[in-house]
Amino acid sequence: MQTRRSILISTAGAALAAGAMTTLPAAAFAKAPMVGKQAVSFYRLKFGDYEITAVSDGTVKLPMSKIYKHITESDAETYLADRFQAGSEVSVNAFLVNTGERLILIDAGTGDLMGPALGKLISNIEAAGYRADQIDDVILTHIHADHSGGLVSNGKRVFENATLHVNQREAEFWLKADAKAKADKVLGPQIAQAEKCVGPYVEAKKFETFADDAAPLPGFGSVLRAGHTPAIVVS
Ligand SMILES: [Zn+2]
């Protein structure tokens, strides 16, 4: 049976074949590496007096059909495939906020923790016209690897002039874990990762916590949305 997708693919293929026969030079058939990167790696918008730049760290494949509720996995797979979302690539983004006075980064990408399809935050911040050492503050929504991995590189702070801001209970959960939590098969490696990524900021006294629903910084709010971690926050 031809689906919308197969028709699109076969139509595109036929057009390409026809074009190739008549117009493409032989050099177009030479082998070249796949680039795998889109031109747009950041998106900028004004929000009141602030300028916000959404910056890509890259994409990660997630088992999307397992995530939904009230639908079977196979139905979810069909639903996603019909909408050209099979094998979904999910974006990992961070947000750079220029208040006019300070440059504030919300979340820090994956660094080298999640493979080469990610870890592109710094190069994309530079493509957006900024440098890591210009950033005054970093606010984390939570300490999972896809939000905190990019804080360090080879054990050193990537944002060397920035103060790191984390919800207090989130910081305590990950950084003051007891031996039992550290021995846990799932939690243990995540705790080690949290210590590795956040620890250098604590040691450099470039680390501050904020209370539930409190402002991490003047002009910013936070809403406690615990569940995914003890204290995920929306800034
Ligand atoms: Zn998470």
pLDDT at 107: 97
The type of residue at 193 is Q
Per DSSP bridges, beta strands 137-139 and 152-153 are unpaired
Question: In angstroms, rounded to a whole number, what is the distance separating the alpha carbons of residues 94 and 39?
Answer: 17
Render 82-121 in DSSP notation, one character per residue: HTT-TT-EEEEEEEEEE-SS-EEEE----TTSS-TTS--H
| pLDDT recorded at residue 215 | 96
58 Cα–ligand 1 center, Å: 16
Interatomic CA distance for residues 169 and 211, integer angstroms:
8
Question: What pLDDT does 137 receive?
Answer: 98
Q: At 66, phi and psi to the nearest 5? A: -90, -15
pLDDT of 230 reads 75
Q: What distance lies between CA 142 and its chain's CA centroid? A: 12
Distance from C-alpha of 78 to C-alpha of 85, rounded to nearest angstrom: 9
**For position 23, what pLDDT does the model report?**
54
Q: How far, in Å, from the CA of 229 to the mean position of ligand 1?
A: 7
Domain locations along the chain: 32-234
Distance of CA 145 from the midpoint of ligand 1 (Å)? 7
Cβ neighbours for 55, distance < 8 A, ≥ 6 positions apart: 41, 42, 93, 94, 95, 96, 121, 124, 125, 128
> Tokens in use for 186?
């799932």
| CATH code for the domain defined by 32-234 | 3.60.15.10
To which residue do tokens 């990762």 refer? Answer: 193
The whole-number pLDDT of residue 157 equals: 98
- Per-block mean pLDDT, blocks of 10 residues, the chain (235 long): 45 44 57 74 94 94 86 93 85 96 97 88 95 98 94 96 97 93 92 96 98 95 88 65
CB atoms within 10 A of CB 86: 14
Write the single-letter amino acid at 131.
R
Centroid of ligand 1 to alpha carbon of 63 (angstroms): 15
Cα 1 from Cα 79, distance rounded (Å): 17
Going from the Cα of 23 to the center of ligand 1, the distance in angstroms, rounded, reads 49
CA of 125 to the centre of ligand 1 (A): 22
Ligand 1 centroid vs 1 CA: distance in angstroms? 40
CB atoms within 10 A of CB 67: 11
Question: What separation in Å is there between the alpha carbon of 136 and the centre of ligand 1?
Answer: 24
Three-state secondary structure call for residue 58: strand
